[in-house]
């Protein structure tokens, strides 16, 4: 049996878990590549040894014999086990065992998965459930708040029309309208954040996404007497990625909005303000970098910028960068922010390149065409 498995290494090496095959005495007959990497031993160091080789001394008397017994005569064992790697590191794993007969012999199989990886998957599932629950709660809160806010704004506008422009109450009504508009904006941003849809990935050129966003900010840039400067000389290839174009559109919009708000209008005789947007390919990632020479962010505040509702501008909600980070996490990408007070800020998005690109767009060999 072991010789048969050794003749099919690719099949077992593709299993996303460490696999070990033993005889009924728990003598190791075969290990896959994942097991080699996981435990730190070469195949030759494990094959021929007893499984006890991987267990702690205190588990050899009862625990391991019980696992082997359950595997041979019952329905197998499944649970957490503390094992040791070649360098002596102790590591918790999830162990699943079973047995089968082949050619009159009984063989035992052991599958090991690192607990940490399972915990990550579990945490991601709980996170999705939490966001779904939060979305339902926010939807109800928004419904309850939006109607009173709309009423306050509507009545305030009516009163403003009935009062003379010079009336003292006009200033008060103006403040009421300003604050109701702010509340509506807060609700809109909160809903945008908690209702981020699951990305729908499609192949798209990142340059095309950037070029669609820029015209939306031309008017605001003119008001700030600023301009955008796009540099794509750092790109290699076509810049195509598997992304959700609509979500990345919104991400870049938030970055451009922040940059324009950070820069001051040009003083008389001063240089025109520029926001640089750079596209690059560093081999592993395709990136977008947005650079402004605005107010910058202090070291104290830099570590808080991704926190919900954090903003140094009282008029802002403080969910823009929180939204950006969450979308980048959904894309398995990352975001880096570099800033110096009164010197400006650089925000860089890194999108991992799709390493399966070739296999998705063409036959890897003439023989593969026959399988179509």
CB burial class (10 A; 0-12, 13-18, 19+) of residue 323?
buried
H or E element in which residue 97 lies:
strand 90-102
φ, ψ for residue 139, nearest 5 deg: -60, -40
First to last CA, the chain: 34
Query: Which residues 6+ apart lie within 8 Å of 270 measured at CB?
Result: none
Report pLDDT for 264.
76
CB neighbour burial string for 157-195, b if at least 16 within 10 angstroms, e if fewer = eebbeeeeeeeeeeeebeebbeebeeebebbebbeebbe
Per-residue pLDDT at 357: 41
Indicate the pTM of the whole model.
0.54
How far is the C-alpha of 223 from the C-alpha of 228, rounded, in Å?
A: 13
State the pLDDT at residue 268: 55
Residue 360 CB: number of other CB atoms within 10 A? Answer: 9
Alpha-helix residue ranges (DSSP H) falling in the chain: 2-6, 9-13, 33-39, 43-46, 63-73, 115-162, 169-194, 206-213, 218-223, 245-262, 299-302, 320-330, 357-361, 366-369
Per-residue confidence (pLDDT) for residue 362, from 0 to 100: 45
Mean pLDDT, 10 residues at a time, over the chain (372 residues)?
A: 53 74 94 91 93 91 90 90 91 91 91 73 63 62 77 85 78 85 78 74 92 93 90 88 92 93 68 88 91 90 84 70 88 92 93 56 43 38
Q: Give the separation between CA 88 and CA 275, rounded to whole angstroms.
A: 53
Instruction: Please tell me the CATH code under which domain 202-357 is placed.
Output: 3.30.565.10
Which CATH number is 2-115 given? Answer: 3.30.450.20
Q: Are 109 and 99 in contact (CB under 8 A)?
A: yes
């Amino acid at each position: 049996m072991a010789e048969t498995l050794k003749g099919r290494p690719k099949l077992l090496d593709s299993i996303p878990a460490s696999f070990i095959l033993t005889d009924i005495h728990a003598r190791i007959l075969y290990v896959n590549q994942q097991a080699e990497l996981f435990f730190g031993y070469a195949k030759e160091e494990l094959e021929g040894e007893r499984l006890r080789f991987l267990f702690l001394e205190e588990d050899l008397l009862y625990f391991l014999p019980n696992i082997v017994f359950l595997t041979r005569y019952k329905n197998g064992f499944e649970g957490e086990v503390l094992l040791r790697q070649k360098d002596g590191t102790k590591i918790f794993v999830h162990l699943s065992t079973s047995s089968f007969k082949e050619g009159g012999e009984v063989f035992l199989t052991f599958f090991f998965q690192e607990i940490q990886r399972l915990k990550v998957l579990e945490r991601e599932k709980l996170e999705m459930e939490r966001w779904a629950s939060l979305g339902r709660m926010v939807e109800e809160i928004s419904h309850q708040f939006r109607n009173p806010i709309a009423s306050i704004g509507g009545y305030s506008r009516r009163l403003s029309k009935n009062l003379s422009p010079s009336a003292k109450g006009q200033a008060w009504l103006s403040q009421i309208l300003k604050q109701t508009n702010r509340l509506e904006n807060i609700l809109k941003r909160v809903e945008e954040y908690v209702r981020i849809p699951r990305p729908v990935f499609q192949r798209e050129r990142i340059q095309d996404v950037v070029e669609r966003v820029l015209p939306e900010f031309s008017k605001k840039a003119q008001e700030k007497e600023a301009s955008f400067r796009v540099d794509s000389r750092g790109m290699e290839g076509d810049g195509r990625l598997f992304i959700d174009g609509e979500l990345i559109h919104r991400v870049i919009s938030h970055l451009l909005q922040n940059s324009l708000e950070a820069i001051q209008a040009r003083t008389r005789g001063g240089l025109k303000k520029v926001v640089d947007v750079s596209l690059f390919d560093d081999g592993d990632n395709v990136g977008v970098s947005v650079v402004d020479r605005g107010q910058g962010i202090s070291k104290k505040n830099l570590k808080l910028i991704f926190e919900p509702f954090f903003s140094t501008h009282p008029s802002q909600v403080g969910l823009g960068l929180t939204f950006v980070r969450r979308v980048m996490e959904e894309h398995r990408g990352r975001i880096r922010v570099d800033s110096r007070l009164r010197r400006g800020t650089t925000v860089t998005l890194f999108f991992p390149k799709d390493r399966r690109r070739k296999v998705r767009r063409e036959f890897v060999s003439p023989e593969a065409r026959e399988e179509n």
